[in-house]
Amino acid sequence: MPVIEVVLGDITSEDVDAIVTVANESLLGGGGVDGAIHRTAGPRLAEAGSALAPCATGDAVATPAFDLNPPVRHVIHTVGPVWEGGGYGEADLLTSCYRRSLEVADEVEARSVAFPAIATGVYGFPPAQAAKIAISTIRATPTEVERVRLVAFDEETHDLLAAAAQA
Ligand code: APR
């Protein structure tokens, strides 16, 4: 089971083997954290992503990290669920995002991975419930990943992730 670190910051500054971006199924880039990562990794990220598209909600695929600074070698693109009230399998799909991202990290032999708070921005997933899903899924998924960093972009998300990690 990986060590889980909860931090406040910008995921594009993380020193890990792989960072996870929260995309849409086109993998062409968008706003939010996806936009930040595409801006930093450069246009080759969208080219590589679109060659693997469409990516289904709950699934994940890896591309090189291109212009992102070392040691980041991989970007893992996952597509979170749009929150529609909770009755449409959103929790299971978010669980799948974390599980599939760890499986893909194993495929590329990444031993340290940084995640943003998947689906809690534009897609509107309640951050408290999302934090619990993140922690429980990372703890429950068999993986060779040794270190997971959950990178919050705001204090509220950070505190929710920290509370879930301590529960
Ligand atoms: N570093 C870390 N976290 C960030 C950063 C950053 N640079 N920028 C934003 N975040 C946080 C947001 O504050 C939020 O907590 O990432 C979390 C996810 O928010 P979004 O980026 O809006 O992602 P999501 O809710 O999954 O929506 C995905 O938005 O950008 C489009 O193409 C993307 O269609 C997809 C949708």
Domains of the chain: total: 1
Q: Tell me, using a 6 A CB cutoff, whether residue 36 lines ligand 1.
A: yes
Which residues are within 8 A (CB) of 154 and not within 5 positions of it... i.e. 6 or more apart? 8
Which atom of ligand 1 is nearest to 11's Cα? 1
Which atom of ligand 1 is nearest to 154's Cα? 13
Query: pLDDT, tens digit, for every residue of 137-149?
Result: 999 999 999 999 9
Catalytic residue among 10, 34, 106, 154: 34
Query: pLDDT, tens digit, for every residue of 19-28?
Result: 999 999 999 9
CA distance 109 to 74: 10
| 59 counts as catalytic | no
pTM of the model: 0.98
Expressed in angstroms and rounded, the spacing between residue 101 Cα and the centre of ligand 1 is 16
Which CATH number characterizes residue 149's domain?
3.40.220.10
Q: Provide the pLDDT confidence category of residue 127 given band limits of 50, 70 and 90.
A: very high
pLDDT of residue 29: 95
Q: Are 23 and 29 in contact (CB under 8 A)?
A: yes
pLDDT of residue 8: 98
The helices-and-strands tally (H runs, E runs) of the chain is 5, 6
Expressed in angstroms and rounded, the spacing between residue 143 Cα and the centre of ligand 1 is 25
Lookup result for tokens 């940084």:
114
Domain that includes residue 62, residue range: 3-166
